[in-house]
Structure 1
Amino acid sequence: MSQRREISEDGRELLFDHGAPYFTVTNPDVLRVVTEWESRGLVAEWKSNFGSFDCFTNKIVNTEHQFSV
């Protein structure tokens, strides 16, 4: 997993996660492994905004708040 932090022009801290954007689990055996990873802090449910970085304007665009169901 890889993460980068940047400070925007307005002083906000931006976090970029370059790891797997997401994954889903349907197999009970895999769910047990992922649950163990979660308990060890290796993975976590993303509960913040999603957005895209526009390299032409150097701005974050199309941000939206999403939660898994």
Structure 2
Amino acid sequence: MTNVQQLGTLGSMGWTVQRLDPDRSRRRLELLAELAGARAVRERKRPQRARTERLRQLIATRRRPVD
């Protein structure tokens, strides 16, 4: 989603993120807000589904090996 450039003087330690253009940022924020709203509506209509999804995420994080 973002463009990342490597700075020449710092090698791999120096990363900088280019700013997105304002229109793209605005559209992205609008899309994220719409997705969050749709998720909230879906969870209100189906609370069991939301509970099930939270349990799946919890089980998935517990199964991951610790580095």
- What TM-score comes out, normalization by structure 2 length? 0.30
Which has the larger share of strand?
1
Larger Rg: 2
Which has the larger share of helix?
2
